[in-house]
Amino acid sequence: MNTSMVKSKFLSHPEDLGVVAVGFSGGQCKPGVDAAPSALIESGLLTQLRDELNYKLHGHDTVHSYTDLVPREDPPFRNMKNPKAVSSVTQRLCDQVYEHAKEGRMVLTLGGDHSIAIGTIAGSAKATRERLGREIAVIWVDAHADINTPETSGSGNVHGMPVSFLTGLAKEEKPEYFGWLKPEHLISVKKLVYIGLRDVDPGEKRILRENGIKAFSMFDIDRYGIGRVVEMALAHIGADTPIHLSFDVDALDPMWAPSTGTPVRGGLTLREGDYICESVHLTGSLVAVDLVEVNPSLAPEVELGAHETVRAGCSLVRCALGESLL
Ligand SMILES: [Mn+2]
């Protein structure tokens, strides 16, 4: 048993934690984010989850690099960079997450860039449909909406597109370019909630508006406070829905998490980030967590920036998995 007093509503083995460490950075152009899982593990995250939160870990002894899946030639397709690599890595990751989730375990994925959420969310959506006959909700905590389609994206980096593929707003038939995503892998735009947005492209603003997607930006957090925002986000999802939390460390202000590929000022404090994770844990509805975009090699001008970012990431994960202050 873990020490948390919260009873899980949807996991048959809530004390079992499937860990998938994803050393992959192909969804964007800056090397280093693939080193995050090792840095998080070396700083003691998994030991803490085992010894302090009493989880029984599964799959934690390997950091996956997926080098066998990265083709020598991978030219852009529909404006996407490294499309074949990202497609096949996320497809494999989908299977990995699915294998844990179908056993009724909590699943923790350590990224990696945010493109990997295509795989993690697809895997947990499929397993939850099969196991419980339910759709999952997704809480996407991020400075960015990551909902560009290949056509609206300026950069072509797939880490800015995962939500459009997961909601079916972006479609592709060819299996080697995300055509492996089937209806059982997808999520509803109605069960998607953003928290922390502050750098949203014009095309993405249109997509959010046209699809009525619930999004709480930093403006809303300033206006209502983090407590009320999380309450409204959870009310939107509804009490009887399994939750997949996808947390991009760039949601935090660069003051707390400078070592990330696309930092944006004016973000969440570490406590606000922890609070989101603590609150989601308290619902008892959490079935999976992603922590992404920690890049220990990027820490411009900030002494110990990488160390601080890794520490912040560990804190977020521990809070989501049941650590409490008292
Ligand atoms: Mn992101």
For ligand 1, the distance from its centroid to the CA atom of residue 146, given in whole angstroms, is 6
One-letter amino acid identity for 96? Answer: Q
What is the per-residue DSSP string for 168-202?
TSS----GGGTTT--GGG---GGGEEEEEE----H
71, pLDDT greater than 60: yes
Do the strands 105-110 and 214-217 form a parallel or antiparallel pair, or are they unpaired? Answer: unpaired
Active site residue 293: yes
| Mean of pLDDT values over 116-137 | 98
Tell me the mean pLDDT in the region 88-107: 98
Segments making up each domain of the chain, as ranges: 13-320
* Catalytic annotation present for 281: no
**Within 10 Å of residue 168's Cβ, how many Cβ atoms?**
14
Q: 210 pLDDT band (50/70/90 cuts)?
A: very high
Q: What is the DSSP string of 97-136?
A: HHHHHTTTEEEEEE-SSGGGHHHHHHHHHHHHHHHHS-PP
Give residue 73 CA to ligand 1 midpoint distance, Å.
Answer: 26
- pLDDT in the model for residue 106: 98
Contact in structure between 324 and 4 (CB atoms under 8 Å): yes
Please pick, among 16, 34, 74, 142, the residue that the annotation labels catalytic.
Answer: 142
Does position 303 have pLDDT exceeding 70, yes or no?
no
Give the mean pLDDT of 29-45. Answer: 94
CATH number for 13-320: choose from 3.40.800.10, 3.40.50.1980, 1.10.3210.10, 2.60.40.10: 3.40.800.10
Active site residue 113: no
pTM reported for the whole predicted model: 0.97
Give the distance (Å) from ligand 1 centre to CA of residue 248: 5
Q: Among residues 144, 185, 244, 281, which one is catalytic?
A: 144
Is residue 144 part of the annotated active site? The answer reads yes
pLDDT at residue 302 greater than cutoff 60? no
Which amino acid appears at position 277 of this protein? Answer: C
Using the mean position of ligand 1's atoms as its centre, give its distance from the Cα of residue 284 in Å.
Answer: 24
- CA torsion, points 55, 56, 62, 65, in degrees to nearest 10? -50
Q: In whole angstroms, how large is the CA radius of gyration of the chain? A: 18
CA of 29 to the centre of ligand 1 (A): 14
Q: What is the pLDDT of residues 232-275, one digit of tens each?
A: 999 999 999 999 999 999 999 999 999 999 999 999 999 999 99
DSSP H helices, the chain, are 36-42, 45-51, 83-101, 117-132, 162-166, 202-210, 218-224, 226-237, 270-282, 305-320
Specify whether 64 is catalytic: no
Catalytic residue among 34, 199, 204, 248: 248
* Residue 4 alpha carbon to ligand 1 centre in Å: 28
- Which pLDDT value is given to residue 1? 47
